[in-house]
Homo-oligomer: A and B are copies of this chain.
Amino acid sequence: MHNLELLWNSSGLAQLHAGQGLMILIGLLLLFLAIRKGFEPLLLVPIGFGGVLANIPGAGMAYSAVESALHAADPATLHALAQLLQVPVDAGAKALQAAYDAADTATHLAVRQVVLDAGFTDGMLYNFYSVAIASGAAPLIIFMGVGAMTDFGPLLANPKTLFLGAAAQFGIFATVIGAVGLTELGVMDFTIADAAAIGIIGGADGPTAIYVSSLLAPDLLGAIAVAAYSYMALVPMIQPPIMRALTTEEERRIEMVQMRHVSRREKIVFPLVLLILVALLLPAAAPLLGMFCFGNLMKECGVVDRLSDTAQHALINITTIFLGLSVGSKLVADKFLDVNTLGILFLGIIAFAIGTASGVLIAKLMNRFGKHPLNPLIGSAGVSAVPMAARVSNKLGLEANPHNFLLMHAMGPNVAGVIGSAVAAGVMISLVGG
């Protein structure tokens, strides 16, 4: 009977908490949205599946050995940890966790040795998270692949669209104000680092958001990544009403002059120009923009096609699988089911909306003062969300004027938005992360 009890106690049903059940449902919902509704499936399928795996009761796939030990609550182990962490013996797992988080590296090592000796091990998703995200590698590798898929031609043909990529980042910083405001009102409880990480959702760029939150607010990473990718998928629903409200029919009909031809050499030199500017002005953005420029240079230089091809296919796909599962590991119930998550979801959509509006408004301004006509609809593409936002601009343009093809014009602010939010990420990291 002892074995039967052991089997039952080790079953999921016997250990299921309501929160885990709820999170499994949320994971399945993400899968439904990704598969049935086409919400950024490349990321949300692995994230949703990882979320389900992370919440399997008793499997501890998302826990480190130390977290597993704290959840198992074996008295002897807790006792040993309490002594190491200098906490009262009867303080409970939460107090131990808090003391562990506050402890120094040497204490971490000592605690880890105790729990490994007690037979606890790191879960699979925890390992994936450590290698892919905690190290910073996966978002950077994805950014390299994105760089290798990006064509800066439209931006080079009309560099002024970089201003639109700047304008749309206002959503990021306005959201920071929102997050600290909600904290001051006592509704939420965010630090300035949390607020900065939440703001980056407004950058509409998944790897940037994941990179920044892994540095500034790892506990919020799950919610931030889910918000970022979900809202990117919702761009075709979020943006059009704002764009229509802020533009006149007349403005939406504006046809833009055809783009000049951009030479191969310009395309090769541009990533280097961008890299040098980053090096001189904002080193904190160098990992992100450096890898982005590296990917782009590999693509454009034409002499390393086999590397560029791998960066765009095998490497980015492998990294995406592990990045997604790793993000899913942060959907574990006791980290995700928190009022802060609701705050993040709310603030994230605000960020998108403000970014869209800023882009459109600055585009209107530029149209008024520029030499060439500029359709304000391409301003919204400055939030990035490549290439969805540019497609939205194109679609609304076609609605107003069936001969108005804005896609290539909108690709300029679209890739400018990627640069803009990476720059914003650099500022956040240097001002807040220091």
A residues near B, CB below 8 A? 3, 6-7, 10-13, 15-16, 24, 28, 31, 34-35, 38, 41-42, 45-46, 49, 52-53, 55-59, 61, 104-106, 109-110, 112-113, 116-117, 119, 124, 127, 135-137, 140, 144, 268, 272, 275-276, 278-284, 286-287, 290, 294, 297-298, 301-304, 306-307, 309-311, 313-315, 317-318, 320-321, 325, 427, 430-431, 434
* Contact among B10, B117, B310 with A283 in the assembled complex (CB-CB below 8 Å): B10
Inter-subunit contact B42/A11 (CB<8 Å): no
Inter-subunit contact A113/B106 (CB<8 Å): yes
Complex Cα gap A315–B310 (Å): 9
Residue in chain B with minimal CB distance to A12: B280
Complex Cα gap A272–B6 (Å): 26
Known contacts A45-B307, A281-B12: A113-B124 contact under CB 8 Å:
no
Contacts of A313 in B (CB 8 A): 306, 310, 314
A315 CB to nearest chain B CB (Å): 5
Known contacts A59-B284, A279-B52, A283-B12: A303-B35 contact under CB 8 Å:
yes
Complex Cα gap A303–B135 (Å): 29
Complex Cα gap A31–B269 (Å): 11
Inter-subunit contact A434/B49 (CB<8 Å): no
Known contacts A10-B430, A53-B286, A276-B24: A311-B307 contact under CB 8 Å:
no
Inter-subunit contact B113/A109 (CB<8 Å): yes
Residue in chain B with minimal CB distance to A112: B105
